[in-house]
Amino acid sequence: MIIIVSLGLLAIILVINLFYNRRTKDLEERNKELMVLTAENTKAYEQLRNTSNLLIEANRKLKELDIIKDDFVSIASHELRTPMTAIRSYAWMVLHRSNVPLPDNVEKYLVRISISTERMINLVNDMLNISRIESGRIEIKPEPVDLISLGKDIVDEVYYSKSTAKNIKFILLEEKLPKIFADPEKLRQVFLNILGNALKFSSNGGKITISFFTDGRTIETRIKDEGPGLAREDLGRLFKKFGRLDNSYTSVATSGGTGLGLYISKNLIELMKGRIWATSEGLGKGSTFTFALPVASPEVIKHADQYFVKAKGEAKSLEPAAIVV
């Protein structure tokens, strides 16, 4: 009996020992795997850290290059504008202040020189504005603004200076509106850019309508023209830098625009916590450009500091918007 019990205990011990040895072996294998995994993770971590350091350094260099680019654009633009202004001035003087009659072909060439230098100056001004916006040199100082009053002033300015040549009719639909909270100078720039765009693509004898809509929180300003209209697939390209819809030489020579005005407008509207978009029923059916800005409500005025934007470094003002008919 004792022998049987002893054999049983021995068998149990052998089974336990066998299980223990197998478990120990499994644990050793698992430990080896963990050690390999740890080594791989350590290597991966080192690679990740090195990559992260490289990205940080590359990002730092890109920022430096971006600053250099902005400085170059600003300096080059100023240097370009000075001779262009002189050429335009002398061409105008020869055309309008000359005591000697000009041959027809000479007058034609001088007119072309004057128009081309005017376009170059407009391009330089747009490039300067973009450089200042993208480098954070623009300040936003919002205040309550009467949209109807501002709209009337801008319509008068555009009508008497530019639209008479094309006999364009402006319709401003007046209604009682609360004031909006925006930077008057930047808002004027946006207004001129969009109104100038509508005027540029309107046919002779056309009509431009300015209307407003409010939901109590924002006011939408809608500028509708009777121009060539827009295809649905083109709407997304409008507010991009150099976002011309037809890059042919004929289009450039005809419209004389740079494709920068809407890009500048979009950036300024977004800096003022607003939105801007365009709609069209299709080609040949005109276009409507709309921008929405916050109402100068007591709540907005209370948190006015959230709407101010400080310049990074020295603040720069915007170059004036040009209207090309």
Among 134, 125, 118, CA closest to 77: 125
Assigned CATH class of 143-306: alpha beta
pTM score, whole prediction: 0.74
pLDDT at 325: 61
Indicate if the alpha-carbon torsion angle 17, 18, 22, 25 is positive or negative. positive
The answer to whether domain 1-135 has CATH 1.20.1090.10 is no
Query: How high is the mean pLDDT in each 10-residue block of the chain (325 residues)?
Result: 58 59 70 78 80 82 72 70 83 82 84 85 86 89 95 86 77 93 95 90 89 95 91 82 52 54 94 94 90 96 92 84 68
Residue boundaries of the structural domains of the chain:
1-135, 143-306
User: Distance between CA 168 and CA 321 in Å, rounded?
Assistant: 20
- The SS3 call for residue 295 is strand
Nearest CA to 183 out of 266, 271, 97 is that of 271
| 271 strand-pairing partners | none
